[in-house]
Structure 1
């Protein structure tokens, strides 16, 4: 299995991307990696690496880079020599390539996947789906978290089908419990979009729909999948991230400003804090999968270090081997044609 990696995407490219790719190669002897980017910069970064199987690593030279300042659609169409565009071209032209990883511009990755890779038949809108940690430790797929700001109810049904297949492949959940992000658990709560989506989800075969999910319950562990339009999903994601960072900062401030008793208590709780930090560490869980396109596309955090890149590459390989795209296509095929044709 070959994974294509955008070596120039992200805040820490190319060094951390290259280090992560090499570590992935050393962890999985059946993996091949293609690094796409400035060949001289990649080769310099490889000099920092430990031993690895050079026969399983290839480089595609790409002198240009798409940045966060570029307009995604324009950049994908005009920057033909960019690492991102050439990586997508390699993904589609190499039959051995099963997946793609980038820590670059989220907008450009999503536009590139949509235009270069293409949608699975029946999918109205591909969606971005990270796996978030939960209190019960099982993880939850949040879909969508930013790819589609404006949605119709049928889009949310498609998100539920795709995310359910993803939860099964990624989390090992056989019959994923699906919730609809809303401002109340009652069936009549929400706006016109969520009320209509609730009705469709409740009657769609193949979806284990439990009902509405309030934002405070996303990380409870009571749901395996939470579906939302990209606008509210992104707000929920960023709110959770911000709350976690704020709480950790408040705890640190309290420890540092406290007396001897506080510091002794913190010392005794250090193993607990370490366990919580590990559970919440995005670097250990790979990236967000762009569901609904014809090949596996994983978007890593823009600030990813080598550890996160390694996890994303192994995640992409695992998803490709699980045939996640075929499973999504199979799930979409059960829907009525009039609904799947709607945009």
Structure 2
């Protein structure tokens, strides 16, 4: 039962009320570069995760400064794919995308072992269902906080959408689409459908302003709305509700949660270039990157670094 709950949070778009002043976003922007707030006035933690990936960024934070610079130098050499001695914005963007893809692959690998019960390098719907909902299937209970029948039906619908050959057996590519549907074009309809099911409380097939705001913010004891809620109301009227009918249909919801006009990897590459391009020639040298190592990777002067398991490339 506990595993079913955990998988629900991993696989389903989160529903329910948020904390009164906690902002919740439905926008996917592919798999996020980082779930941290991007505020360089406080720290460069977002940039570290975007550049390295979450786990690698955490490892770098424990390294002594000199070891951090040494490893960053190795990465800088790898980023220079055409070996011309410079790292262009395109090369920087490609590296960030590679880090992003690596996080997805690692996520799938970790869960693959749990679900491939017969170790045939495939995951059938039966294997997934029995692993995730086994305790419920053995002892169905209707008086629970969660509607497991609905959860299981929703998972099966997504599994079938990811299963491109229709055999109800997922290879790694299909299972990746199941776990990360926002990254696959043929899964966009499912992402939209799940989002609308979560937010459309009156079941009319649309998301109105009340439902849109209610998904992100719930007022308690008559407290005033935070400024960002007022801004979201304006966003809904000016940008989300494109046809001005007071609600979002499926197409408008798709434009909201899976925007196609913003490339986060490109934006992060431009940002890192701006922060580190000392001579402003539009490209980076190895020395420019190393002189700004705290922007790219961060470091603490600590002895913990030597105890970390090292990747082969370092």
Tell me the TM-score normalised to structure 1 length. Answer: 0.29
Higher CA-based Rg: 2
Tell me the TM-score normalised to structure 2 length. Answer: 0.31
Tell me: higher relative CO, structure 1 or 2? Use CA pairs within 8 A at least 6 residues apart. 2
Indicate the structure with greater helix content.
2
Indicate the structure with greater strand content.
1
